Each structure stands twice: as C-alpha cells, then as structure tokens.
Structure 1
Amino acid sequence: MEFSTWRSVSIISFTILAFLGSGYSQQAPRYSFLNQAAEAPAISYYDYIIIGGGTAGCPLAATLSQNHKVLLLERGDAPYGNKNVSNMVNFPDTLQDTSPTSPAQRFVSEDGVINSRARVLGGGSCLNAGFYTRASPNYVREAGWDGRLANESYEWVEKIVAFEPTMPQWQTALKEGLLEVGVTPFNGFTYDHEFGTKIGGTIFDSDGNRHTAADLLEYANPEGLTVLLHARVSRILFKVKGRSRPQAFGVIFWDQNGRKHKAYLNKGTDNEIILSAGALGSPQLLILSGIGSRDQLEALNITVVLDQPMVGQGMSDNPMNAIFVPSPNPVATTLIQVVGITKFGCFIEGASGSNFVVSGSNSEGAPGRNFGMFSPQTGQLATVPPKERTPEAIARAVEAMNSLQEYHFQGGFILEKTRGPLSTGFLKLNNQNIDENPSVTFNYFKEPADLERCVRGIEAIERIIKSPGFSNFTYSDVQMGTLLNISTHFPVNTLPRSSEDTRSPEQYCRDTVMTIWHYHGGCQVGQVVDLDYKVIGTDALRVVDGSTFRFSPGTNPQATVMMLGRYMGIKIQNERFARQEAKRKNNS
C-alpha cells in the first residue's frame, strides 16, 4: 500500500473511533498524521525517530516536525474518546484498570509499592491528577538550562494545556489551614515554584475535561510528522563495525498484529534517534539494545554494544503519605489545586469530593465504593505495609469498604510528598520481553533525611486538620473516635492515634508509604547522557524525558517534562541550523 493511501485510510479510521467514546464531550482533534502501526510500511525513513509519544515525546515531535521529517512511535492508543482519561471525575478508573490494553500499565516495585506507567499517547499527563506547576529557578539553573528558553517553552505548553482552577470551599479551607500552621506567605495563583502556599495550575478545563501532552501535537506541521499508535519498539539498531563509537541508525518495532517493521534514519550526520519512553521504558530499551552493564547484558544473552553500568541506576520515586479526613459537611469534587511548599522538604496538597464516593462494583455486581486515586483498587492500600499489599489484601479492603455507610466516604485527603528524594535504587531486566515491566527498586526512606521530612510532613498535616481554618470539614475528637470505631476495618489511612497505634512516627511513614507516580532516573544527566541529552559514548542517540532527572522538579513534574520536550526540540533545531550554516560558509 502506498504511503499516501495508508495515511488516508488511517485518518478515516481514527476519526470514526475518536467519536465513538461514550461520555466524552470534548471534540477529538483531527490529526492527519495519526496512524495505526499495522498500516505502516515495512520499511520507512525519517530525519528523527522519537520512541515514546508521552509527556516529553509529543512536544518534542511537534517542534522538530516544523522543519524535518519526524516519526513518533507510541506503544499505546490515543487518549481521545476515553472518558476515563478525559473526564476529571472518572480518572481514577484508569488507574484501576489492569487489562492488557489499559492506558495505565500497573507494576509493583521490589519495595512492594503498587505503581503505574503510562501506555497512551500523551503519557502520564493522561493519567495524573492534573496539577500543573513549574520547577524552581534553582532547579532550572542546576539542570544547566537556559532560563529564557525554559520560560518560553513553559509558556508554549501553557497556551494549550494549563488553566487556573476554581476554588471550592474544601480547597480554600486547606489553603487557610496551611497558612495558619506557618506555610507562608500566600503566593496566590501562580505556576511558579515558591516557598509558601499557592494555588497552582491544572490541566483540567472549567468543564472538567483533561488537556494532555497529546494536545500539544496541535503545534505540529502535518507534512513533517507521522505518529504510529500500538508501535512497540523492541530494539535500537547500531552501526558498530569499523567505528570507535556505536552510531544509532534505525529501530525495530512491532504492530498490534505482531508484524515487524523497521524505520531508518535518512542519510545525514545530523539525523537522530531520541528515546522518550519514560523512566522505566528508556533504560529498558537501552539495555535491550545492548547499552548497559556488561554483566546484565551477557546474563540476558544480549550482544554488548556499549558497556554502560549506569543505565538503570539512580531510580527514585517520591514517597507519598496520604491521610483521609472525614467531613461532617458535603465537599465538592476537587483534585490537586492548593500546595504548601515547606522549607523543611515536603509538599502538602489535597483532593476531595465525589470522586471518593461511589465507583465500580463489588464481587456480587452491586455498586462498590472507593476513594478514587487513594483507593485499594488503584493499589493505594496504605493500611498495610508495602510488601503485604497482595491481591488478597486488596480484595479484603474492597470488601470492607463495600460494607460501610456512604457518610464514611464524605471528605478528602491531605497528602505530603517528600522533596527530591535523596534515596535512590536501580532498575534491571528479567528477560528480553519488551512488554514485561522491568524490575525496579526505589529504596524508599533509605536516606534518613527523607524519613525525617515525612515525619515533619505528617505532623504538619495533623496541625492543619486541627486548625480553625479547616474546622468546617473535620469532626471533633469525640465524633472522630465514634466514626472510626464504627468502621474497625476502615480501608484508608487516617491519622495515627496514640492509644491504638504504638508505631514510631518513622515506622508509620514506612508502613503507609505510597507512590505519587513521580518516579524518575535511570538515564541521568552526567551518568548516561551529557548536558545535551546525548547518550555518552554513542552517536545519533539522545534521551529526553524524566529518566534523565536526578530529582523530581517542582511539586509535580509534568509541566517540566513537557517543557523539556519543547526546549530540547528548539535546541536541537538551532544547533542543527548553526552547523549547517557553518558548513555553508566553509564551502563558500
């Protein structure tokens, strides 16, 4: 089938599918460059091949497509037409979906904490709670980024995906509580990262519709971009013979029907392959392609292209500990809107409302209950220590939840996220199966400073709950005791009570730790990639995504990951044009 023909068929197919999703009111874009991998040619050629259509890959592809022929390979589907992705109230259902085609692929770290990785165009911006905030100026400087270009790149992203949220009473009470316990000053609504309490941005618009990194493809040049869905890249190809450094020149990918395809770089010294497959996917693909520690590669029977033992090292996940606060008064549905940026190393945020009331069904088919993003169904079962969060424990928690009265579910969560973190772990592969999650260890609270920050965060949350500003949404101590005694198997985390909880504050943090889905590392700058995000020791290969981070930027990394995609797209283009101009002058 000719290129123009299979593209036209794909446009029609995608347009029909996009409008079949029930409950999705936002019109799906008619991207002419969006195709199914099964309809792609067996062999094709491009100037840039980007692996991973996620939070960084989409803005990177949109930018590079302005002047070059770009292929963007995404292993998942498009988010459009999926009401669980697109609607704020339904978004926890995606995290609960453990089917093979779910946009959220569940994995469990060796620490025992249940987690998710994105498998959808737009990446993690399709799965998260929507909070939008920039990194701090110090973070930008330490990363070696040009401050002006970083700000321009943030603004480019914000024109499409970022909004100012409304402020219902529960979020206003959280703001007042934060200020009353000393998380000052109040910085108002801002995308900037500053100490104190602020109202951040959101990627949900006023109608509750999610806007994602996939929407940034609106900026793309349709003539310069091809996006393939359900394209599972299994290996990057390298030229090695007769070269001092391996040079990337193509990729092998598989479509949804199990057919193999190859995509190659066009001839030219400036063309590149760019990995944007995320903190798990990028190191995984480097190892599968022969770049990693020699011992691991030989154990997996993978030909060594480059002995690089730092691939997969420096893995981190910000610890989160969330506390449910039952409310005597009704609360509106809110996701993360207010954040307290403390000077002792914690970020304090909250979410509330009907997304914690009724959803799903129990084993008998009757309506089931959950607490949305903090529910056992999403793997956030903080009432048992991490390695005890088995499927059986989750089932018991769901059963207990279904036995409770509806008023137990009225309220919200206040959480603390540990800044950084300082604790790190590692990633390794168990086999050569690209569809299987790698094994990852995050070593939560390995560093004492992380544990100290958690303890101080929990203490701050307790003070907020008891503050006058939050009093309309809390029970008195007597009423709280009665409420908790009624639900002896309350399947969510509440404040520790000295009469019933004899654990130390440190042990409480360890036992109740969950993920906030901000994991990063594995291809860090200075270890695996240089300051230009080129893979050290190779040619024509970069990594541009959160796997390059040492610390998670800001209170939520998605804004910075999207910014990085745009930022590096501009830098790559500018550097390419500068080289071409210098060559032209030398030849004239």
Structure 2
Amino acid sequence: MGWGLKQFFWAFLVAVVLFFNGLSYSEKAPAYTFVKEATSAPLVSFYDYIIIGGGTCGCPLAATLSQGARVLVLERGGSPYKNPDQININNFVNTLSDTSPTSFSQPFISRDGVLNTRARVLGGGSVLNAGFYTRASSKYIRDAGWNQTLARESYQWVEKLMTFEPAMLQWQSAVRNGLLEVGVLPYHGFTFDHLYGTKVGGTIFDKEGHRHTAADLFQYAHPRRVSVYLHATVKKITFKYNRETKRPQANGVIFKDEFGIKHRAYLSKKPMNEIILSAGAIGSPQLLMLSGIGPAHHLEAHGIKVVLDAPLVGQGMADNPMNVLVVPSPAPVEVSLIQTVGITRSGSFIETASGLSFGHSWAEKLQGIFELVSNQSGQTSKFSPEAMQSFADTIRSFANPTLKGGVILEKIMGPLSTGHLELITTSPDDNPSVTFNYFKEPEDLRMCVEGMRTIIEVINSKAFSKFRYPSMPVQALIELMINLPVNLRPKHLSAAISLEQYCIDTVMTIWHYHGGCQVGKVVDHDYKVIGVDALRVIDGSTFYRSPGTNPQATVMMLGRYMGKKILNRRFLHLRK
C-alpha cells in the first residue's frame, strides 16, 4: 500500500467522523511563563512531584498539585498556543494527516486493522477532539469508588474555565428531534449529566468558536511552583531499593529534549513525593514496561531489566467501537460538532456532526475513490442515477468551505471486549502493538446493531427529512460505507444485508481507548502502582470502561480530584 493511499485513509476517517474538528484558539490564549522547551531544562533537577504527560489529566493534576508543592510536567508534544491556525477548523484534516515529529497527533494502526491516533500536545486529546463535554453517570462514580461530593466539585472546577452551552442550529436540532420521534426519550435539554434519553451536552468551544483545552487549566496553577517542559520525551523511570519496605521505589526520570540530549529529574528528599504517570492509555503502560514494570518474559525478550514482574500491565486494553453513516444533504448544512446525543437503553450512544472544511487536494482523492467504488470492474452501479449524482455532488463539494452533509454515528457502552498492549521496540518514540479485539464479546455486537437500527430510524424520520434525499434509501448509504476504505479489515458481501457484519467490517475508533493499568490489577484504589513505592498512574489507562458518552470531562475531573486528595494527605502528614 502506497503512503499516498494511507494518507487518504487518515483523511477520510477524520472527514467522516469530524471528531477532530478544531476551531482556532482565542487570541487571548494564556501566556504561561513556566511553559518552556525541554532544551532549556537543566541537566539535573529536583521536584516534589514529576508528572509524565501534560495531557487531559496531567494538566489539571499539575495545576492542583502546584498549590502546595513543586511540580514538574514533561510533555512529549508542543504547545497548542504557538500556531492557532494549525488547529483551526479549516486545517484540521491537514493537522491530522501531519506525521512530522512535532505534529499534534501520532497515527497508529491497531492489530485489528483500525486506524487510530494518539495526541502529543500540551492539553492532550482535548486539543484534537470534537469538544463534547459530559459527565460520567452517578453509577459510574459510585462504582469507581470516588467521593461524589469531591467528584462534583472537581467537575465544576473544570467547567468554570472550559465549558459552554452550544448554539443548536438546524442539523443538530433535526437529529435531536429525530431521536425523540423514534423513541429515545425523555428529552433533558441542555445538561452535563449522563441520563437515559436525548440531551444536548456541553462543549469546550466558546461562542466565538475558540477551543478551550486542558492546557487552559494551568491558569489555576501557582506559576512559581510548576515547570512544564515541551518536547520532553521520557525514556524511563528510575528506581532505588527501599530497605524499609523492601520494594523498588521510584526516584526519578530520564528524558530527552528534541535534540536528543538527556536530562535527569529526581524527586527531592521529602516524604510523600511521587512520580505520576499521566501519559494516557497507550503511553502509561508502554512507559511502565520501558521502565522495567510489566510481564517479565516480555521485558526480558526486549532486553529490559525487570524491576517488577507485573503481568497485568498492558492487559485489559479496550476501545469503544464506532460505526457511522454518511448522509449527503440536499439542503445547506452548518459546521457543527458533537452536541446532540441519544443515550439509549439498549447500550448505544447516538451522536452527530455536520459540515466540514475540506481542501481541494483531498476532494480530488475522494472523487477518485468514489469513481472507483461506483464502477468497480465495469459492473453496473448499485445506485440509482439520481443517487449517483447526489453522491458525486457531495464529493465535489468537499472542495468548498464546508461539506454538504454530515454523519450520524453510534458508540457502544463499555465495551466488554478487551485486548492487550505489547512493546515492539524499546524506543518511547515508537508506537507499541495494540489489540482491542472489537466485538469479541457478542453483547458488544448486539449493542452496535441496535445503535445502527436507531440511526436508520432517525434518518428515515419526518424530523430529519429536510436533510436527506428522498430518492436515496438508507441501503445506498450502507453500501457506500462498505465500499469506502474506512479501515484495513476485510470486507464481506453480507455486510450490505447484515447489520452484524456491517458493524464488524466498517468499525472505526472513537478515540476513547482505555485500560492497560487498571485499578485493582496494576494500581490500587489510590492509583499507586502495586508493588512499587512513590509511583502512581492517574489517567484513562486505569479505567475498566469509558465513562459516559465522552471521557474527557471525567479524565479532567480525575486529575483535579486526585490532585486534591494527594495534597490533602500531604498537608496532614506535614502537620504531624
């Protein structure tokens, strides 16, 4: 497969799902004096807390800890504020396709043949996502063992700085009304809460279209107690032997700057000091392994000295599967991100997005694919002439400021299906091998099928009729999706008539992967790595399932939540 086609795969994936729409940052973006390039870092330094990863969780965690301790944040990516146009809605496809060492996203392909990406930028996934903000359910919070009062206060701490009520325009309103028409009830209006029925969620885009990210939460930080280094790639965590506990104790990290120069940061000799991994569901288990914590046989095979045999590191990896239908529209559509959501009792979540800024070069590539699909091997097209024309018009419209159409998608709850992560190389710059095992559990497949049925009903609803071609049946949309290269998995003819096979063949990621360092298996309920001192993992890698319809709110909440808990215990210890 040529790289040009691979680039097209990425562009198509992004274009279809619209999950990485990025409106420009405010011209009044924070000017943090404590955020610097790693090249300016001292060769040796000492801190109370060292946080690996300045992402969705690491930023609120560091901002909170800085209120009572000296904190170092090591982020392997750059700043989202340096070039606001780079994540403007008009350039997001190019940003996602950018594979340069300093790009905001790092693509990878799971062993399942699904195209994916990891964030590498201060603010993490909140810099790249569709901006949807919604809390976890009360049950999720109870099951996680979190204090509900502190969790609510931590959500509110995030929301004061980051969240807004979106303006509901025509496309989002039509899907909302369609969900209500087909029975996804009741209607809750605008709310951050996770409730069965249909609702409008929050957004991290303000009324001027500026994206607010987890990096903005550094406005809460104590500027003289926090240091953030960009393009700082951690090679490994270092350990010493604790004679009192007779266990390994984390005492520092080795990181390199963009020129490859090594720096060392150590914990100062005070009680309660810790290293905290917040590198995400891919980065945290990977760095534990690179540091010698993981399955001993796997580490030894890579020549890594075993600090602790921890066979469950990298296990329990999961990614919520997503399936979509692209809907060309005869009526003009606005550019909208994820705002409406239908939370069904069958276990699937229905969301939508419309419009898209799309460059002419990508339009040409999509046009070529469309022509290939429409006339494979000289066979008669499956579509009516009118449907063919409308699809062709839609593809050609990609060269205009916005895509004339949108997508309706479903994500399943959970999921139950899990996989694993393994090292391929010992370089922290390289992606590990990840297997998610989409639809391994039959219940996941059942939820997908029910979700697709709901999407079909919404498209056929009276409320949505303005945005669909009457002569274009849903079956035509299904057949188009089957023929487009949305992933690298094999395709089957039965996918056109079987929603089960359709789910399997056209599965994509919704970028909500989690697991690899799960609570009770790799870390305890205080997120301390089991069997090791002075080391925690606080991020989505600790989750057993994805919270709510989008995890970013809960990941940010967790950073604030655990920062408060750690500081409170630190203050109590110092008073003794």
What TM-score bracket applies, with the shorter chain setting the length? 0.7 to 0.9
Q: 1:352 to 1:301 in 2, by over 3 A?
A: same
CA deviation string 1:182-225 (max 9, x = no partner): 11000000001000000000111111111000000000000100
Q: Could you tell me which residue of structure 2 aligns to residue 555 of structure 1?
A: 549
SS of residue matched to 1:268: coil
Q: Could you tell me which residue of structure 2 aligns to residue 427 of structure 1?
A: 421
Q: Could you tell me which residue of structure 2 aligns to residue 523 of structure 1?
A: 517
Distance, in Å, in 1 between the alignment partners of 2:147 and 2:560 is 13
* Shift in Å, 1:401: 8.1
* Shift in Å, 1:32: 1.2
Q: 1:101 to 1:209 in 2, by over 3 A?
A: same
CA contact (8 A) 1:326 1:411 kept: yes
State the AA in 1 paired with 2:299: L
Q: Could you tell me which residue of structure 2 aligns to residue 42 of structure 1?
A: 43
SS of residue matched to 2:189: strand
Q: 1:487 to 1:110 in 2, by over 3 A?
A: closer
Q: 1:151 to 1:92 in 2, by over 3 A?
A: farther
SS of residue matched to 1:453: helix
State the AA in 2 paired with 1:340: G
CA contact (8 A) 1:191 1:201 kept: yes
Q: 1:238 to 1:206 in 2, by over 3 A?
A: same
Distance, in Å, in 2 between the alignment partners of 1:538 and 1:485 is 53
Distance, in Å, in 1 between the alignment partners of 2:396 and 2:89 is 24
Q: How does 1:384-423 map to 2 (within 5 A)?
A: 404-406=395-397, 409-423=403-417
State the AA in 2 paired with 1:111: D
SS of residue matched to 2:345: coil
Aligned residues: 527
Distance, in Å, in 2 between the alignment partners of 1:487 and 1:65 is 49
Is residue 192 from structure 1 mapped to residue 186 from structure 2 by the alignment? no
Distance, in Å, in 2 between the alignment partners of 1:401 and 1:95 is 25
Q: Could you tell me which residue of structure 2 aligns to residue 332 of structure 1?
A: 334
* Shift in Å, 1:102: 1.1
Unaligned stretches of 5+ in structure 1? 1-21, 377-381, 384-399, 584-588
CA contact (8 A) 2:495 2:505 kept: no
State the AA in 2 paired with 1:343: R
Q: Could you tell me which residue of structure 1 aligns to residue 8 of structure 2?
A: none
Q: 1:404 to 1:492 in 2, by over 3 A?
A: farther
Q: Could you tell me which residue of structure 2 aligns to residue 55 of structure 1?
A: 56
* Shift in Å, 1:95: 1.9
Is residue 301 from structure 1 mapped to residue 292 from structure 2 by the alignment? no
CA deviation string 1:298-324 (max 9, x = no partner): 101111110000000000000000101
CA contact (8 A) 2:486 2:506 kept: no
Is residue 237 from structure 1 mapped to residue 238 from structure 2 by the alignment? yes
Q: Could you tell me which residue of structure 2 aligns to residue 577 of structure 1?
A: 571
Distance, in Å, in 1 between the alignment partners of 2:534 and 2:569 is 14
Q: 1:222 to 1:560 in 2, by over 3 A?
A: same
Q: Could you tell me which residue of structure 2 aligns to residue 172 of structure 1?
A: 173
Unaligned stretches of 5+ in structure 2? 1-22, 375-390
Q: Could you tell me which residue of structure 1 aligns to residue 229 of structure 2?
A: 228
State the AA in 2 paired with 1:228: Y
Q: Could you tell me which residue of structure 1 aligns to residue 70 of structure 2?
A: 69
CA contact (8 A) 2:494 2:501 kept: no
Match of 2:431 among 398, 420, 437: 437
Q: Percent identity, aligned pairs only?
A: 61
State the AA in 1 paired with 2:350: I
CA contact (8 A) 1:85 1:127 kept: no
Kindly report the root-mean-square deviation, in angstroms, between the aligned alpha carbons of the 2 structures. Answer: 2.8
Distance, in Å, in 1 between the alignment partners of 2:445 and 2:85 is 35
Q: Could you tell me which residue of structure 2 aligns to residue 273 of structure 1?
A: 275
Q: 1:360 to 1:150 in 2, by over 3 A?
A: farther
Q: Could you tell me which residue of structure 2 aligns to residue 395 of structure 1?
A: none
Distance, in Å, in 2 between the alignment partners of 1:225 and 1:350 is 39
Is residue 546 from structure 1 mapped to residue 547 from structure 2 by the alignment? no
* Shift in Å, 1:361: 1.6
Q: Could you tell me which residue of structure 2 aligns to residue 470 of structure 1?
A: 464
Match of 2:265 among 263, 266, 272: 263
Is residue 452 from structure 1 mapped to residue 446 from structure 2 by the alignment? yes
Q: Could you tell me which residue of structure 2 aligns to residue 99 of structure 1?
A: 100
SS of residue matched to 2:361: coil
CA contact (8 A) 1:401 1:490 kept: no
CA deviation string 1:213-253 (max 9, x = no partner): 00000000001000000100001011127461110000000
TM-score by length of 2: 0.87
Q: Could you tell me which residue of structure 2 aligns to residue 10 of structure 1?
A: none
* Shift in Å, 1:91: 3.1
SS of residue matched to 1:529: coil
SS of residue matched to 2:319: coil
SS of residue matched to 2:81: coil
Deviates more, 1:572-581 or 1:447-456: 572-581
